[in-house]
Chains A and B, each alone.
Chain A
Amino acid sequence: MACEPNRARLLCMLSLTFGFFLVEVVVSRITSSLSMLSDSFHMLSDVIALIVALVAVRFAEKTQATNKNTFGWIRAEVMGALVNAVFLTALCFTIVLEAVERFTEPHEIDSPMVVAGVGAAGLLINLLGLCLFHGHAGGGHGHSHGGHSHGGKGKKGKHGKSQKAGNGSAGEETNYLVGNHTSNTKPSMEVSCKDSTEVQMNGNTHFEEMESEADASSQLNMRGVFLHVLGDALGSVIVVVNSVIFTFVWKPCEGPSCTNPCINSHKTDHRHINHTLVDLQDTDTKAGPCWVLYLDPTLCIIMVGILLYTTYPLLKESALILLQTVPKQINMHRLNERLLSLDGVLAIHDLHIWQLAGSRIIATAHIKCHDPTSYMDVAKRIKDFFHDEGIHATTIQPEFVTFNSETQGSQCELSCRTQCAPKLCCGQKSASDSKAAAASGLEVISEASEQVPSIQGGPRTEAEVAVTREVESSV
């Protein structure tokens, strides 16, 4: 499976990082260095980030629809990216707090050479991780979709071929209608990691589109991991730099009669009880330049700035997807206009377009047409139109106009409940919407009684009569 490279990389990095975490813990116990211990916990958080990404990748492979998750687990990767971004932000906060603490109370490093050594090893591991994940960092692979929107798993190569092969359905509705007859309540979307041919996304009509969608969902996930590893690498760099400078610049306190002017006196009453008789006299030797002690927190704060700056776009992007936003490449207004310009389309209500993950975009709408026979032609054209836009999973609900009152077509015949109306449904937002319902008799019978009768007046009774007549005829 083409997901293997990702998984392999994650597993490899995970084992390396975890091993290094253990090493750091042991070393910190041996040298009883607290900073090493806290650094090891940072490594642990890195491990957790990798685990999250791994879990997300594993889940997202199961793109088959299940009973509970009818869309499959595709969104897991977006969630993984969000979780990683949030953890990074929280980590940045804690680093800031620790740095502030160090500012107020600097302390020297106990055994700088050991720290430098371990830091260098950590840096190596992190650099390796950076190389592993570098490809997924920013832009990415163009996904040739060959006319399918598929969970863009950023796998090179195999993507394009398998799609074209997989969905051989030429026609639109007939093919999948007849073919899928067996399904019951459980739709079976056989979507594998590579192929991702969703049955509902037919319309293999054009192959040219889908220029590189830069942010497929798996890329989002990997970007999260990359940023985490980057943060860790920066941390290791700081550790190494700090300890090296410390070794060469700092003059430690040797001998019984030296003081440490950089450290606050209220610390001394705990430690240097023996030295209480020592005063800050000029003749005594002093410990090395104080600014060295402030180097660490300063570098940390710079690192936090860099990390936050790079994490913010990832956070924003995954959050926007989860907020059901319209994908940025789609202009709703223009889409609406162009839809209206199609033949046979009288009006459009309740158009919702949102992104499931990566390049899978889903659209739903109510389309008002003349009558059922003309609807079938229009349906195909509408589907093609959406395919052109890159939206392959669409659900179009037809609404029909029987009487000739096409006056104000903005009335939604199958309106939602009134309570939600101002927010979620069309038509009853305010008095500005038209009253004269295109009385096409689609008022749901039982809903009619509960509907706010502000909009439907006379035509209602006709509608009800029409419907009941139809009911009798079909029974």
Chain B
Amino acid sequence: MLPLSMKDDEYKPAKFSLLLKLSGWFRSILAEKTSRNLFFFLCLNLSFAFVELTYGIWTNSLGLISDSFHMFFDCTALLAGLAASVISRWRSNDSFSYGYVRAEVLAGFVNGLFLIFTAFFIFSEGVERALEPPDVHHDRLLPVSVAGLLVNLVGIFVFQHGGHGHSHGEEGHGHSHSLFNGSAHHGHSHGGHSHDGHGHSHGGHQEPPCPDDLLPSAGKGSSKQILQGVLLHIIADTLGSVGVIISALLMQKYDLMIADPICSMLISLLIGVSVVPLLKESIGILMQRTPPSLDNSLPECYQRVQQLQGVYNLQEPHFWTLCSDVYIGTLKLLVAPDADTRWILSQTHNIFTQAGVRQLYVQIDTAAM
């Protein structure tokens, strides 16, 4: 009996001891750089949220309380990214023949969705505020915004420095947008308005499940793009915090109440726009689309295969991305009855390996003569 996969007891939670499980997860989080970064940033965000919560309760400011709840909401996005980075390293088993590597793509997609939802919500809040401008108090807004901006900058630094081109279409995003600032009637000092700048955690990117440090530079190119997307996002969020500060100043100095909702709407648009590339990429992967980086080289490969001796036709090619830079393909070859099957197989594999597809399944069908 041939083993199909290694039963991996260490990471697969088959144990009944919770502590053992937790410590196992903890170890695997700390083992890798990107998940480590994610974890620490998550802790930073969480602590900031707690501080805000206690401060809000202590000063009885509903706005700060709701804002801190919002930060907790953001932390769940970070948590999803962290979970994905751990899960995607689990070994394959009977139920998951490819392993769990798709978890990253899925987490990226879900985070992107959450972001869009957040943007939509902020926009709606901005509209509500514009229609019925509340009486906003700003005394507590500025220091919180500044603190948030600082956390954001930390995020930029950490994830720009730490992510060496191995990020995936997955980003944990926290955003500082207090979604729920109470209703307009009460005119409370909500941590002011829709975005108190605070901590944005971004960027969960994890290393690819195939720790392919030997990848040719083509592979790194694609993940660099993702990393850039992450950074863009963090920068957008930093701009958001800056916008918050500016509008707070405007409101204080010139009493321009309309600045608040306009700021919210602009920022929600910004978030929406910045999320689109991430969503497009993850959707492409999840829909089993042909990998974009192979778009140019595949037709050439097909030509080469069809020129092999004995090959009549190449049918039903399917190429798709399992996770970043791991491509899987299947195709069917129609060959002459007297063709050298083994040679054709090896040559085909060769051709496609050069293109970057390492897992290839070639079915040989002999034409009836």
Contacts and interface: CB of A to CB of B under 8 A. Distances in A.
Contact of B331 (A48, A395, A419, A471): A395
Contacts of B105: 322
Contacts of B367: 177-178
Contact of B96 (A107, A326, A364, A467): A326
Interface stretch (A277-285, A291-299, A422-430): A422-430
A90 interface: yes
B4 A365 contact: no
B11 to A, nearest CB: 13
A444 interface: yes
A70 B329 CA distance: 11
Interface residues of B, number: 101
A69 B288 contact: yes
A82 B107 CA distance: 12
Interface in A59-100: 67-71, 73, 75-76, 79, 82-83, 86-87, 90-91, 93-94, 97-98, 100
Contacts, number: 263
A44 interface: yes
Interface stretch (A210-218, A219-227, A302-310, A408-416): A408-416
B4 A351 contact: yes
Interface stretch (B142-150, B159-167, B306-314): B306-314
Given A86-B114, A474-B310, A181 B334 contact: yes
B340 A470 contact: yes
B322 to A, nearest CB: 7
B121 interface: yes
A323 interface: yes
B94 A332 contact: yes
B98 A324 contact: yes
A74 B159 CA distance: 36
Interface in B336-369: 340-343, 345-347, 349-350, 353, 358-368
Contacts of A364: 330, 361
Contacts of B180: 94, 97-98, 101
Contacts of A272: none
Contacts of A348: 2
B286 interface: yes
A337 B94 CA distance: 13
Interface string B164-188: 0000000000000001101111111
A356 interface: yes
Interface of B: 1-4, 6, 60, 62, 65-66, 69-70, 73, 91-92, 94-103, 105-106, 109-110, 113-114, 117, 120-121, 124, 128, 131-132, 135, 179-180, 182-188, 209-215, 283, 286-290, 295, 299, 302, 309-310, 312-320, 322, 326, 330-332, 334, 340-343, 345-347, 349-350, 353, 358-368
Interface of A: 29, 32, 34-35, 37-38, 41, 44-45, 48, 67-71, 73, 75-76, 79, 82-83, 86-87, 90-91, 93-94, 97-98, 100-101, 104-105, 107, 173-174, 177-178, 180-181, 183-185, 187, 189, 199-200, 266-267, 270, 319, 322-326, 331-333, 336-337, 340, 347-354, 356, 364-366, 372, 375-376, 379, 395-400, 409-410, 414, 416-417, 419-420, 423-425, 429-430, 440-447, 467, 470-471, 473-475
